[in-house]
Amino acid sequence: QVQLVESGGDLVQPGGSLRLSCTASGVVFNSNVIGWFRQAPGKEREGVSCISLAGSITRYSDAVKGRFTISRDNFNRRVYLQLNSLKPEDTAKYYCAAYVSDRTGCALTEPFYEHWGQGTQVTVSL
């Protein structure tokens, strides 16, 4: 059974940092592209970042480019999302998701993703 578990969400002040983790089980981890998505109250879920199988290719939404960094540790079956310079508009539930791929690159589009975690809450507020 495929399971993705996110952790690391918290309440943080504007300008602060967090590191989110996504741990996978039940999948051949290094055959899966991993993406991070987020959903704020009253808004649609949006793609934040994704990382290719070997971690050599990453993509970011314009909203987070230059502030967030995605990385992966295939040995420990984890993907990380470092969130820096956080803004109140980054407040959302953050989800990691995975899909099997045999191609280079990664897609930051929901329909590609086959498996989803339950999410971790990030709140940016004074």
pLDDT at 2: 85
Mean pLDDT for all residues in the chain: 96
pLDDT at 95: 98
62-121 per-position pLDDT tens digit = 999 999 999 999 999 999 999 999 999 999 999 999 999 998 999 999 999 999 999 999
Work out the average pLDDT over 6-16: 98
In the predicted structure, residue 1 carries a pLDDT above the cut 90: no
DSSP assignment of the chain equals --EEEEE---EE-TT--EEEEEEEESS-GGGEEEEEEEE-TTS--EEEEEE-TTS--EEE-TTTTTTEEEEEETTTTEEEEEE-S--GGG-EEEEEEEEE-SSSS----GGG--EE---EEEEE--
